[in-house]
Chains A and B, each alone.
Chain A
Amino acid sequence: MSSIPHDHAAGHEHAHEHHPGGIMRWIMTTNHKDIGTLYLWFSFTMFIAGGIMALTIRAELFQPGLQLVEPEFFNQLNTVHGLIMIFGAIMPAAVGFANWQVPMMIGAPDMAFGRLNNWSFWLLPFAGVLLLGSFLAPGGAPSAGWTLYPPLSVQAGMGMDMTIFAIHIMGASSIMGSINIITTILNMRAPGMTLMKMPLFVWTWLITAYMLIAVMPVLAGSVTMLLTDRHFGTSFFNAAGGGDPVLFQHVFWFFGHPEVYIMILPAFGIASTVIPAFARKPLFGYASMVYATASIAILSFLVWAHHMFTVGMPAAGQLFFMYATMLIAVPTGVKVFNWLATMWKGSMTFETPMLFAIGFLFLFTIGGFTGLVLAIVPVDISLHDTYYVVAHFHYVLVAGSLFAFFAGIYYWLPKWTGRMYDETLGKWHFWLSFIFFNVTFFPMHFLGLAGMPRRVPDYATQFTDWNMVASIGAFGFGLSQLLLLIAVLKTIRSGPPAPARPWEGADTLEWTLPSPPPYHTFETPPVVK
């Protein structure tokens, strides 16, 4: 027999890395790592933009009365903050992680469709500009809340059309990204990597992509119907023409609730990767984690109306959605138990990724419990549209998704850049974020329980103290995020060289590659045994 000589190093030789430098590299790239980097930087930019809006909101709420912004502008900030953080920050960050990690973790050379991947990303900046540009439109940005409920959204100005267009573009980007991820995971796994050998991060993304494909047409349809109600004389949701505004809520939340899991499942995947690495133990109950993820995804399609308990629905409907929502606690509890069991008697160390993963676990569990509280119909009717709900979903999405993403950034940064980050800086970032997050959002539970409504620029004086605390916490949390930027830039510029596997407990395929990995990953597919 003859041979093509090869070895590990030769398998990743850099010969013929024929890609242009400068801006054209980033505009034309079809490389999964370049596109992953673009997604992550775009996400961080949007995170800062949405964060500035959040700080303006908190500054206005520092004390009762109107200080800084007009009520109309306050509502616009609230709306665009939500849209930017969901569609511009969290989702693109998750796709950025998928782009970087999925091919490396399954032993594929790249994503299945390189050009589609490029388009998926480059649609986003245009959508981001449209969304932010809506502030400059006559009438300003939409002020109906990120849920865009009619009749406010039907009556709003041109900014709403820009937002609808931006949502369409972001939805198209998500769908293309999902198709690419599904095709890559299912078709391009290395020989021997069966579905039940895939790292959990890949599993969570496979399920997330499946969910995105299932619900994105629902979002696209709902905002298109808003658009036709606004401009083309239809009356899907316009009560004046015989339409039903509650139908919009059903359609929207049929997308919106799975969307919550779309944002959290990749975070679960990151936590399931980081915790075993720093506990130096295999993930406890791998198969049950996969089944729990799938169960959460299935249940997420059955609970949408728990967002609508106050619109009026039959008692049977309330009971169904209440119990279905509570049922989600079972697979979620399995996950939390498995993460804890993974750490149990592990040889744990507490580097920054692990700190963020534990922070995620602790705070997400609090968010999960408050979700259970809100699932109880009579309690929800009392707490609906109060700050309790704001506290709940920020515990899930900031301390849940965002903290897990921070864990992922610190965990994979040595692989991505080939350099180690500054551990001290990372730990400062964690502790300040952890403390200020709780200072910001924990008092919101008290505010909500005391009856403070959400989406108001002014409030009764009895809520002043906790609002002041929350605002101070918000500024602390916002400023703490600059540490992440400093840590990442410092790593890229002057971090000490990272070995191929800086974490001794890390055992997924990407750690068999050099740090940073070659431009074309796994030129020769690995064989998984």
Chain B
Amino acid sequence: MPSAEISLPVGTELGAEAEFSLTSRRHDAIGPRGRWGLFASLCALSLGFALMFAARGAWLVLPYSALEMGVLFWAFHRFERRIVDWERITVCGDRVIVESERSGVAARCVFNRQWLRVELEERGFGRPPVLALRYAGQSTTFGEALPAAERIRLGRELRRVLAGIRLPARGLGDG
């Protein structure tokens, strides 16, 4: 039976030269091939049954089957779009660089380390707080793929790094 060990989120890694660097991306347990393979098998099964009944005159199964496969496609497609997204935050000298790619759109923000504010913004019920980075009217968010508690910890950690407090020796990947 499986045993458990608590570790850091998958895809979390540090840059070598930077004082602090963290890349975050979602964990994908099955991969696109497995996901779409499963979708194809379900399509074959569901639409196969529907076509069999349509051939026998009970054609009204078909639209439900098609609708259901449409919803499943939407669910998998939505999941897959989010799976390739990534974010990286790097603290390097007097700069903080936030890079991201969401739905194929790349973005890069560079902040002044001394003036950057790190804030945790509460959102509505059921939505985890967002980690907001603000500087002179410019702002961005970070940690979309991180669970709520990780965002909170990252916020604390970033504040410490920005304030120039040395980090503990244990590495991110040591978990």
Contact = CB atoms under 8 A, between A and B. Distances in A.
A224 B9 contact: no
B68 A175 contact: yes
Given A2-B20, A3-B170, A5-B168, A191 B49 contact: no
B38 A4 contact: no
Interface string A1-44: 11111111011110110111000110011110000000000000
A4 B157 contact: yes
B56 A221 contact: no
A214 B46 contact: yes
Contacts of B154: 4
B142 to A, nearest CB: 13
B172 interface: yes
Interface stretch (B92-100, B101-109, B119-127): B119-127
B126 A114 contact: yes
Contacts of A182: 38, 72
B64 interface: yes
A183 B5 contact: no
Contact of B62 (A6, A214, A221): A221
A24 B125 contact: yes
Nearest to B120: A16
B70 to A, nearest CB: 11
Contacts of A19: 125-126
A527 interface: yes
A236 to B, nearest CB: 6
A218 interface: yes
Contacts of A509: 2, 4
Given A3-B167, A509-B2, A524-B149, A213 B172 contact: no
A247 B60 contact: no
Given A1-B173, A113-B75, A188-B27, A18 B4 contact: no
A132 B128 CA distance: 38
Nearest to B53: A251
A221 B53 contact: yes
Interface in A177-236: 179-180, 182-183, 186-193, 197-199, 210, 213-218, 220-222, 224-225, 228, 236
Given A175-B68, A528-B3, A529-B3, A221 B61 contact: yes
Interface in A388-432: none
B6 A6 contact: yes
A12 B2 contact: no
B21 to A, nearest CB: 8
A2 B161 contact: yes
A254 interface: yes
Given A1-B14, A217-B50, A507-B3, A520 B57 contact: no
Contacts of B63: 221
A12 B76 contact: no
B173 to A, nearest CB: 7
Contact of B60 (A11, A210, A224, A523): A224
A179 B38 CA distance: 12
Interface stretch (B28-36, B110-118, B132-140): B28-36
Contacts of A197: 2
A118 to B, nearest CB: 8
A314 to B, nearest CB: 16
B43 to A, nearest CB: 10
A227 to B, nearest CB: 9
Contact of B7 (A24, A218, A526): A526
Contacts of B49: 214-215, 217-218, 254
Contacts of B6: 6-8, 11, 524, 526-527
Contact of A175 (B7, B57, B71, B79): B71
B10 interface: yes
Interface in B155-170: 157, 161, 167-168, 170
Contacts of B168: 3, 5
Contacts of B68: 175, 213, 216-217
A6 B22 CA distance: 15
Interface of B: 1-10, 14, 19-20, 22, 27-30, 34-35, 38, 42, 45-46, 49-50, 53, 56-58, 60-65, 67-68, 71-72, 75-76, 79, 83, 120, 122-123, 125-126, 128-129, 147-150, 152-154, 157, 161, 167-168, 170-175
Interface of A: 1-8, 10-13, 15-16, 18-20, 24-25, 28-31, 107, 109, 112-116, 175-176, 179-180, 182-183, 186-193, 197-199, 210, 213-218, 220-222, 224-225, 228, 236, 244, 247, 250-251, 254, 276, 282-283, 507-509, 512, 520, 522-529
Closest A-B pairs by Cβ, 8 of them: A1-B171, A221-B61, A523-B149, A217-B64, A526-B4, A189-B29, A217-B65, A30-B126
Given A2-B20, A114-B126, 11 more contacts: A5-B157, A5-B168, A13-B149, A16-B149, A189-B29, A193-B2, A217-B61, A217-B64, A222-B58, A509-B2, A522-B147
13 contacts: A1-B170, A2-B19, A2-B167, A6-B153, A8-B6, A15-B152, A179-B71, A218-B53, A221-B50, A247-B56, A509-B4, A529-B2, A529-B3
